[in-house]
């Protein structure tokens, strides 16, 4: 859950093998392969969607997409499947503020829109098809259509 503690260890690993960072929201130089392993998902070839490079991970029951700005920063992540992924991993340094904001009481049940000031998280769907996305509005390149971020 806490991805800051092992980061020093990962930096060390990275020096030996791969780019030394986490594929989490707001992070640069993502190690998508490391995320795929942590989530037990298969990595797909990178593509372009919404004008951003997208790295897609798949399992039998879920898909995760990580959107990279031209500078290599993960500026959005989206997920869909039977179960929500470990958002502590995907949201990285933003996970805590999402959890705090999402814990605010609400009346009723429906899709959720959570804003923290620098992060937006949307969740929607139903059993076997749960969807969500998180993005950093101030770090999205101009011209990105938010409807494409999913």
Partner 1 sequence: MTSADARRLAPLLLSLAACGGGSSAPPAGQAGPPPNVLPVSVDGAGCSAGSYLNKPCVSVTVCEPRTSTCQTIGDLLLDTGSVGLRVFSQVLTLHLPPVSSGGGSLAECVGYLDGSAHWGPVVLASVALGSEPAVEIPVQVIDATYASPPAACQAAEASPAAAGFNGILGVGTFEQDCGPGCTVTSNGMYYACGAASCAPAAVALASQLQNPVAALPVDNNGLVIRLPGVAAAGASAVEGEVLLGIGTRSNNVPPGSAVALPLDASGEFRTTLGGATVTAFLDTGSNGLFFAAPPGAGLAACAAPDAAWYCPASTVTVDTSSSGATGGPAAAVPVQVGNFLALTAPASVNVCGLVAGPVGPASSFDWGLPFHLGRDVYLGLEGRRSSLGAGPLVAW
Please identify, using beta-carbon distances, which residue of 13 and 124 lies nearer to partner 1.
124
Q: Is 23 in the site for partner 1 (CB under 8 A)?
A: no
Stretch in the footprint of partner 1 (CB under 8 A) among 4-12, 13-21, 22-30, 124-132: 124-132
Task: Name which of residues 28 to 87 contact partner 1 (CB under 8 A).
Answer: 40, 59-62, 81-87
Token pair recorded at residue 108: 């009723």
Q: Select from 89, 91, 136, 140 the one that contacts partner 1 (CB under 8 A).
A: 89
Residue 103, burial from CB neighbour count under 10 angstroms (0-12, 13-18, 19+): exposed
Which residues are registered as beta bridge partners of 54?
A: 47, 67
Q: Is 19 in the site for partner 1 (CB under 8 A)?
A: no
Q: Select from 4, 128, 138, 143 the one that contacts partner 1 (CB under 8 A).
A: 128
Q: Is 6 in the site for partner 1 (CB under 8 A)?
A: no
> 3-class secondary structure for 67-124?
EECCCCCEEEEEEEECCCCCHHHHHHHHHHHHHHHHCCCCCCCCCEEEECCCCEEEEE
Residue 65, C-beta contacts closer than 8 angstroms, at least 6 positions apart: 49, 54, 55, 56, 57, 77, 78, 79, 150
Q: Is 107 in the site for partner 1 (CB under 8 A)?
A: yes
Q: Taking the complex as a whole, how short is the minimal distance between the CB of residue 16 and partner 1, in angstroms?
A: 26
- Locate tokens 């959890």: which residue? 99
Residue ranges binding partner 1 (CB under 8 A):
1, 40, 59-62, 81-89, 99, 102-103, 106-114, 121-133, 146-150
């Amino acid at each position: 859950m806490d991805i800051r503690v092992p980061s020093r260890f990962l930096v060390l690993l990275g020096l030996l093998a791969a780019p030394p960072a986490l594929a989490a929201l707001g992070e640069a130089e993502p190690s998508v392969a490391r995320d795929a392993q942590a989530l037990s998902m298969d990595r797909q070839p990178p593509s372009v969607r919404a004008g951003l490079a997208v790295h897609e991970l798949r399992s039998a029951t879920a898909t995760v997409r990580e959107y990279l700005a031209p500078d290599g920063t993960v500026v959005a992540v989206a997920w869909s499947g039977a179960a929500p992924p470990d958002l502590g991993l995907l949201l990285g340094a933003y996970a805590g503020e999402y959890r705090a904001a999402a814990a605010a009481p609400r009346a009723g049940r429906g899709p959720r829109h959570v804003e923290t000031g620098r992060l937006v998280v949307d969740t929607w769907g139903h059993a076997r098809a749960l969807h969500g996305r998180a993005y950093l509005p101030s770090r999205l390149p101009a011209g990105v259509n938010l409807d494409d971020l999913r």
